[in-house]
Amino acid sequence: MADEEVATKAPESDAQEQSSSAIPGDTTVDQGSSMGAYITKPADYPHAPSKLLLFLTGGTGIHSTNNQLQADKYAAEGFLVVMPDQFNGDPAPNTSTVIPESEEHPTFIENLKLNLASAAKSFRIDMWLARHTPTTVLPRLHSVLSAVRDEFADAVANGNGIYAVGYCFGAKYVLLLGSELPDDVISGQRESDAQATAEEGMVRKGPAIKTGALAHGTMIERSDFENVQVPVGMVCVEGDGLFPDEVREEGVKVLKEKGQEVDSWVYPGVPHGFAVLGDYEDQKIVDAQKKAFDQMLGWLKSH
């Protein structure tokens, strides 16, 4: 397992970091299938029973040290964790912009350069998001789920299904994997279920997981909640522009109206991405990260 002492990056800032497991047989980045995966197991597995947990990352992907550390924490709690490469080797571009101290009062030219750099990075992010939509991501995830059901059938059976957690980008796909969707959405032939709900005779499948927990989601819409059929626990940031309060509140309302079990824990005064391990100077964020992990872990273990 990775060493928690090396969690020295702030959340969502290590997209291009490369790391690997230090203990053979315990954790691995498996590139042998059509899609790589970071796999981390409890120390006593397979001698002791485990449960299968699908870990869906933010844009930083499976080579992020912080994401690997987060997966290892779940493994230490008894889950066999599979963290798939949702992005097929194409993590999100690094979008941090730092103004040097010497440029406390930047000139017009310096401001122009910063604005151009910011626009270029926004363009790269937009292009990256266009490459990674449900059309491309869902088929990858279902391919991995098919493989793990065979390779780790004991863990799937022990948990009576597959558990899932998702952070940032991955949070949306916890909802989608917990939904009953038309077959052509699952296979990537259609982007969403928005136009299908009134169509008759359509083959629908799912859900693919038994329960899900998510943290500070991105690109989540009200419609993503409409077909959810599994219990969902959500860690959220108050006033998060990437997962607006009104979307969260409407999503909770939709699930409750359907009689679906849901809970949400809202954190004020913390940044988006806080629930992923990182080197935080603010003790409030450190404490919130630990509490959020305990809430998500408790949700999984209670289901």
Tell me the CA distances in angstroms from 97 to 49, 100, 277, one per residue in order: 46, 10, 21
Instruction: Specify whether the CB–CB gap between 235 and 263 falls below 8 A.
Output: no
Query: What are the helix (H) ranges across the chain?
Result: 65-76, 108-131, 134-151, 153-158, 169-177, 183-186, 245-257, 283-301
Looking at the domain assignment, is residue 159 inside a domain?
yes
Which residue did the predictor score with more confidence, 278 or 124? 278
Looking at the domain assignment, is residue 125 inside a domain?
no
pLDDT of residue 34 exceeding 50? no
Which residue did the predictor score with more confidence, 125 or 250? 250
Per-residue pLDDT of 43-68, as tens digits, reads 999 999 999 999 999 999 999 999 99
Looking at the domain assignment, is residue 105 inside a domain?
no
Looking at the domain assignment, is residue 76 inside a domain?
yes
For residue 178, give the CATH number of its domain.
3.40.50.1820
> What value does the mean pLDDT take over residues 227-250?
97
Burial of 23 per CB tally in 10 Å (0-12, 13-18, 19+): exposed
Looking at the domain assignment, is residue 79 inside a domain?
yes
3-state secondary structure of 153: helix
Phi and psi angles of residue 84, each rounded to the nearest 5 degrees, phi first: -80, 155
User: Which structural domain, as residue segments, surrounds residue 237?
Assistant: 4-90+132-301
Looking at the domain assignment, is residue 289 inside a domain?
yes
Q: How many domains does the chain have?
A: 1
Q: How confident is the model at residue 189, as a pLDDT? A: 61
Q: How confident is the model at residue 183, as a pLDDT? A: 74
Which residue did the predictor score with more confidence, 41 or 11? 41
Looking at the domain assignment, is residue 47 inside a domain?
yes
Per-residue pLDDT of 256-275, as tens digits, reads 999 999 999 999 999 999 99
DSSP conformation class of 265: E
Q: How confident is the model at residue 205, as a pLDDT? A: 77
> What value does the mean pLDDT take over residues 14-36?
42
CA-closest candidate to residue 86, choices 139, 151, 149: 139
Looking at the domain assignment, is residue 207 inside a domain?
yes
Which amino acid appears at position 5 of this protein? Answer: E
Q: How confident is the model at residue 122, as a pLDDT? A: 75
> What value does the mean pLDDT take over residues 102-123?
59
